[in-house]
Amino acid sequence: GVTTPGRHRTFSGNPQSISNPEDGCPVQVKIAKSDDDMEGGVAPTVQFRETNEYPVVFKWHCSATSQPRSVYICGSWDGWRQKIPLVKSANDFSTILELTP
């Protein structure tokens, strides 16, 4: 699972998503690979390298009151140094990063 400092909430019933609707935060984070995927006997469609990195999806949902032109994320994975742009689609911005747990 995913642990973060502070509160942990599930989104859409998926235990590997984090969202905090009470704060009005439209950010959604998903882990795209889990240990259960490998044990089910079904070969994954994505080839993973022999590292401890996992593809993590970051998604910012736009609303009627929140229509930004661009969205960026940063994090402790690189010491908060890099501002990573999210890619705009119809109603959200998203990106996938390879991160270690």
Q: What percent of the chain has pLDDT over 70?
A: 50
pTM: 0.52
Mean pLDDT within 10-17: 38
For 4-24, b/e burial (b = at least 16 CB within 10 A) is eeeeeeebeeeebbbbbeeee
Residue with more model confidence, 78 or 43: 78
* 26 assigned to some structural domain: yes
pLDDT tens for 33-51 read: 555 555 555 555 555 556 7
* 90 assigned to some structural domain: yes
What is the chain's mean pLDDT, rounded?
Answer: 70
* 4 assigned to some structural domain: no
* 86 assigned to some structural domain: yes
Range of the domain at 47: 17-99
* 1 assigned to some structural domain: no
Measured from the Cβ of residue 63, the count of other Cβ atoms closer than 10 Å reads 10
Total number of domains constituting the chain: 1
